[in-house]
């Protein structure tokens, strides 16, 4: 199988390429050479690669940046995904599109399953929901994979932020009313490779099992890194001003992939392994 990955230099793109290994012929593109917002450029790159499957990882994931510039968020995550979908149609390739729990509003006190309608509450979520719309309406063969709170070595993410604060000895204030699923990039990549091999197209939720608040997540990071004595003050989102407003309760339920035998381990186990490997 030939696989082309957009955003192949990003944390998920690199991990996916490694997980596929010799099981697939993996190529890909990333900025500045390949820009998904350039219709002709991304089409030329995908058609030249002759892929069986395109994995669309490239995105603007700076949530606060998207709130400050919603037009740019749509240009990259909506229009850019439209370009990738059209390129896949021209190349005769299936598409596996990476999306997010932030396509949901977070007002319900339950986890979201794959058949719940998107209802984003911020520009990042809206732009990713727009990308999903283009995938669903332009292609017959696609996977949409939603994930949440992804962390990986070397990237800007919540785990990195908490560890940096702990290393500096800074007291923390962490919100209790934002709840979702922490997800380790290694586990997500392995699950995506397994899912792609099934050929069962559709919408899927892939996160590490279990849910927690940002506050609980931070306390677990500190406990596993020997900083459990660092003061952590629980606060509400309203007490943490930021450009974007994340959905308050948006964990994802893995209903569809689990039916195919594709599941991810509990988030606590994944976090412990991550911190052991990258301590």
Nearest partner of 174 among 137, 131, 210, 222, judged by Cα: 222
Structure tokens at 196: 């792609």
CA distance 142 to 149: 23
> How far does CA 244 lie from the centroid of its chain?
17
Provide long-range contacts, Cβ within 8 A and 24+ apart, for 222-229: 222/162, 222/166, 224/271, 224/272, 224/275, 225/163, 225/166, 225/275, 225/279, 227/166
Query: In which element (H, E) is residue 71 found?
Result: helix 70-73
Instruction: Single out the catalytic residue among 74, 112, 124, 274.
Output: 124
Q: Is 151 known to be catalytic?
A: no
Backbone angles phi, psi at 22, to 5 degrees: -80, -5
CA distance 26 to 96: 14
Residue 188: how many other CB atoms lie within 10 Å: 26
* Active site (catalytic) residues: 124
């Amino acid at each position: 199988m030939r696989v082309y990955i957009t955003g192949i230099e990003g944390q998920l793109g690199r991990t996916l390429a490694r997980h596929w290994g010799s099981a697939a012929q993996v190529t890909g593109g990333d900025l500045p050479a390949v820009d998904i917002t350039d219709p002709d450029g991304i089409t030329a790159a995908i058609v030249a690669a002759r892929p069986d499957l395109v994995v669309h990882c490239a995105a603007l994931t700076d949530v606060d940046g998207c709130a400050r510039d919603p037009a740019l968020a749509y240009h990259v995550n909506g229009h850019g995904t439209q370009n990738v979908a059209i390129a896949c149609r021209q190349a005769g390739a299936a598409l596996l599109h990476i999306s997010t729990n932030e396509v949901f509003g977070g007002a319900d006190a339950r986890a979201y399953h794959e058949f719940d309608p998107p209802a984003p509450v911020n520009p990042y979520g809206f732009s990713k929901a727009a990308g999903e719309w283009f995938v669903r309406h332009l292609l017959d063969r696609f996977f949409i994979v939603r994930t949440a709170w992804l962390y990986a070595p070397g990237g800007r993410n919540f785990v990195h932020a908490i560890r940096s604060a702990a290393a500096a000895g800074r007291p923390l204030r962490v919100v209790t009313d934002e709840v979702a699923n922490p997800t380790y990039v290694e586990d997500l990549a392995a699950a995506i490779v397994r899912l792609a091999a099934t050929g069962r197209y559709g919408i899927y939720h892939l996160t590490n099992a279990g849910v927690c608040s940002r506050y609980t997540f931070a306390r677990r990071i500190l406990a596993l890194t020997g900083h459990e004595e660092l003061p952590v003050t629980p606060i509400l989102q309203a007490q943490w001003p930021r450009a974007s407003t994340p959905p308050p309760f948006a964990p994802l339920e893995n209903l569809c992939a689990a039916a195919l035998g594709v599941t991810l381990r509990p988030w606590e186990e994944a976090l412990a392994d991550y911190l052991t490997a990258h301590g």
